């Protein structure tokens, strides 16, 4: 009898000690990136192994039947942390009381579509979602924009949610960061976790600048600069950069579909680092609000910088020496972002 009472007490105590569920939104939830992402979130890979989750899945009305299938699969995974799954096509349901929002859905570029038309369509989407964040979400919500053009979509969402701090918004360049890290690791012949402190500067586009001037490689027990470890400056300043810049297009050409598995992994990495922080002495890349930066990047952009994260707050890594080669590439990607922003802002007031 005592054993039974003790067991009942332990169960009650464990249940009461467990954290309150957090509400996590994924948009474009019937799409292929979300399909690769949702399981990892629901089983605790992102927000912690003791953090219950309420997953909110938002997509457009025609995708609701597909979303029902995704919900069934999540239920069938029998994941103990997953307390509820809410499929919806309504922003007032999707954005209510959110702790985290992962905005994957966007208008993809279609054949024959002009860039300005793509921007116009996405401004409308991310203005609506920003306004929904403003109206329904917690002011502490952490927002990650994945849908392309991610940097400018993130800027539009943040401008449409003025009472949520700009620092709470970020866009995904972690996929590019992971690609750069992996390319260096393969070239040297070491595991990817032996490469740290690569940087992605600027836009998540083909103008991004993958920079390894400050990267460190643990080359079979000996720490050295990436330039020394690779020992091929022409590759690091040439094919390495273009490979990372054009990797998304290469995946599409091979798969006839865009990156999903690797994008989902990068989303998990990005959000986990926001939640739990970056390791001491290491930084990661993410698109953040540029105003006040020390690297001469124009204000009022979402631009990818190296950041360290502690207590769910990022800080740009300052004081890195920027040579002329890097300066030119950083300025080039900034110019593209200024052009995107200025075009998008003409549609924001429309």
* Alpha carbon distance, N-terminus to C-terminus of the chain: 72
36, HSE (Cβ side, Cα atoms, 13 Å): 14
3-state secondary structure of 250: helix
CA distance 336 to 206: 10
- How many residues appear in the chain? 350
Question: Do the bridges between strand 22-27 and strand 100-103 make them parallel or antiparallel, or are there none, so unpaired?
Answer: parallel
Q: Reply yes or no on domain 173-345 having CATH 3.90.110.10.
A: yes
Q: What is the pLDDT of residues 17-29, one digit of tens each?
A: 579 999 999 999 9
The pLDDT of residue 349: 75
**Domain 22-108+115-171 in CATH: superfamily?**
NAD(P)-binding Rossmann-like Domain (3.40.50.720)
What percent of the chain has pLDDT above 70? Answer: 95
CA distance 223 to 221: 7
Rg, the chain, Cα only: 21
Residue 280: count other Cβ atoms within 10 Å of its Cβ: 7
Q: Is 270 a catalytic residue?
A: no
CA distance 97 to 284: 28
Whether the pLDDT of residue 8 is over 50: the answer is: no
Q: Which residues are annotated as a binding site for NAD(+)?
A: 59, 122, 146-148
Same fold, 22-108+115-171 and 173-345: no
Question: Could you tell me the pLDDT band of residue 115, with boundaries at 50, 70 and 90?
Answer: confident
Whether the pLDDT of residue 1 is over 50: the answer is: no
Q: What is the pLDDT of residues 243-261, one digit of tens each?
A: 999 999 999 999 998 899 9
Whether the pLDDT of residue 186 is over 50: the answer is: yes
The DSSP result for 16-64, as a single string, is HHSPPPEEEEEESTTSHHHHHHHHHHHTTTTT-TT--EEEEEE--GGGH
The pLDDT of residue 112: 73
Q: Which residues are annotated as a binding site for substrate?
A: 109, 115, 148, 179
The pLDDT of residue 146: 97
The pLDDT of residue 302: 98
pTM: 0.94
Query: Which tokens in the block code for residue 244?
Result: 């990372």
Catalytic, out of 204, 213, 214, 270: 204
* Backbone torsions φ then ψ of 202, nearest 5 degrees: 95, -135
The pLDDT of residue 350: 54
Q: What is the pLDDT of residues 135-172, one digit of tens each?
A: 999 999 999 999 999 999 999 999 999 999 999 999 99
Q: Where are the domains of the chain?
A: 22-108+115-171, 173-345
Whether the pLDDT of residue 4 is over 70: the answer is: no
């Amino acid at each position: 009898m005592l054993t039974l009472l003790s067991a009942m007490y332990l169960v009650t105590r464990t249940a009461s000690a467990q954290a309150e569920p957090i509400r996590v939104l994924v948009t474009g939830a019937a799409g292929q990136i979300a399909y690769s992402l949702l399981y990892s979130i629901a089983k605790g890979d992102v927000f912690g192994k003791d953090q219950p989750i309420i997953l909110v899945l938002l997509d457009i009305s025609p995708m609701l039947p597909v979303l029902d299938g995704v919900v069934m699969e999540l239920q069938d995974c029998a994941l103990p942390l997953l307390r509820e799954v809410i499929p919806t096509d309504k922003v007032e349901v999707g954005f209510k009381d959110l702790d985290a929002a992962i905005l994957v859905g966007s208008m993809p570029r279609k054949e024959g579509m002009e860039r300005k038309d793509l921007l116009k369509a996405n401004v409308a989407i991310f203005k609506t979602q920003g306004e929904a964040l403003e109206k329904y979400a917690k002011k502490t919500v952490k927002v990650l924009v994945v849908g392309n053009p991610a940097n400018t979509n993130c800027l539009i969402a943040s401008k449409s949610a003025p009472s949520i701090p700009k620092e709470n918004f970020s866009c995904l360049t972690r996929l590019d960061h992971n690609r750069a890290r992996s390319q260096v690791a393969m070239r040297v012949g070491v595991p990817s976790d032996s490469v740290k402190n690569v940087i992605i500067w600027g836009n998540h586009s083909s103008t991004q600048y993958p920079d390894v001037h400050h990267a460190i490689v643990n080359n079979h027990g000996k720490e050295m600069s990436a330039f020394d470890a690779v020992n091929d400056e022409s590759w690091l300043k040439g094919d390495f950069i273009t490979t990372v810049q054009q990797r998304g297009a290469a995946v599409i050409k091979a798969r006839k579909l865009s990156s999903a598995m690797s994008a989902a992994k990068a989303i998990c990495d990005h959000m986990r680092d926001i939640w739990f922080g970056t390791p001491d002495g290491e930084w990661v890349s993410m698109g953040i609000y540029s105003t006040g930066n020390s690297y001469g990047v124009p204000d009022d952009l979402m631009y990818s910088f190296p950041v360290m994260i502690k207590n769910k707050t990022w800080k740009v890594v300052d004081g890195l020496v920027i040579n002329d080669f890097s300066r030119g590439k950083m300025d080039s990607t900034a110019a593209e972002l200024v052009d995107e922003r200025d075009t998008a802002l003409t549609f924001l007031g429309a």
